[in-house]
Structure 1
Amino acid sequence: MQIKNYPLADVVEITPRVFADERGAFLETFSAKEYAGIGITHNFMQDNLSVSKKDVLRGLHFQKPPFAQAKIVSVVVGKAQDVVVDIRRGSPTYGQYATCILEAEKRNQLFVPVGFAHGFVALEEGTIFTYKCSNYYNKESEGGLLWNDPALGIDWGIENPLVSEKDEVLPTLAEFESPF
């Protein structure tokens, strides 16, 4: 597998080795042993999947402690621009973000550590996005940041995303008190 580190500590893009021939392709999407070798040692407990129309924007979300989650995210159909924002108090990159294009054809993944808000925008119709989570979802522990906060300055790559009502009223970074 190929590893790409990001300027935000612990954010890693993983591109697995794909074995392809005239019949199709095979790849390992997760191996605890291989991931431990690059520092990802979480016990993953829950897998989630979302299906999105083109230009749907989901985020920026996280789970507060004690239900905080690290995630390995990927796209199995389509393409998405993935975004992570560092919300760890005291981090030298607090409030900074990184983006990654996740593509079904490429089979790449992004590791999102605990202490990061996460979101994505679907770049193709019917994009299927998967999340491997290190903790169970807990409704009372939901948190988020406003996707279009000018202080973050995220370039989502589209002009008029479809955003849920819930995501339109999340706090800005200035209004936010990090639980991390």
Structure 2
Amino acid sequence: MVTSRPAFWSIRSWSCMRKLSIWPCKWMWTWPSHVLTCLRMMRELRKKLWLKIARHVVQEEKDVKKAMNCLSSCNLLKIEDILPFFPDFVTIDHFKEAICSSLEEYNQHIDELKQEMEEATESAKRIREDIQEMRNKYGVVENQEKCAACDFPLLNRPFYLFLCGHMFHYDCLFLEVTPHLSTLQAD
């Protein structure tokens, strides 16, 4: 657990975090080696803080309008995040605008996903057609053909014939390509 605050934090925000029992990890303060992780943690921390504020406004102050203002002043929270804090007797009129905008966002996201799926389906269809077309292609290898790498007769060992006309023994091609692969690809 972190016991002292970093220099760039104000005393007020640090004491607020302590009161709300929101403790970041020790490694969060190392900069810049964990910049993305730090930003993600800060975002999560901010969301947690806003959720605690919203819970307090709804459950302690019982002020629906103030809670909706809290929702509009923070882009990290959505209506579905704070709905569980409201009692069952609250009417939906207070949430109508927030629910509608949330549903519009979800519809837009669904439309984007549908478009991506259609593009992926079309791409897969083209790839299947290309594969089918490749299955019908063939090449003729004469018995005097030689490997482009070692210049030995091709038909003595397993080989690859490329559409461009180049021909390689399997092991020769492997030796040519391996030095150009990353360590991850080579494994």
TM above 0.5, one fold?
no
Higher relative CO (CA 8 A, sep ≥ 6), structure 1 or 2? 1
TM range (shorter): under 0.3
Higher strand share: 1
**TM-score of the aligned structures, taking structure 2 as reference length:** 0.22
Rg larger for:
2
**TM-score of the aligned structures, taking structure 1 as reference length:** 0.22
Higher helix share: 2
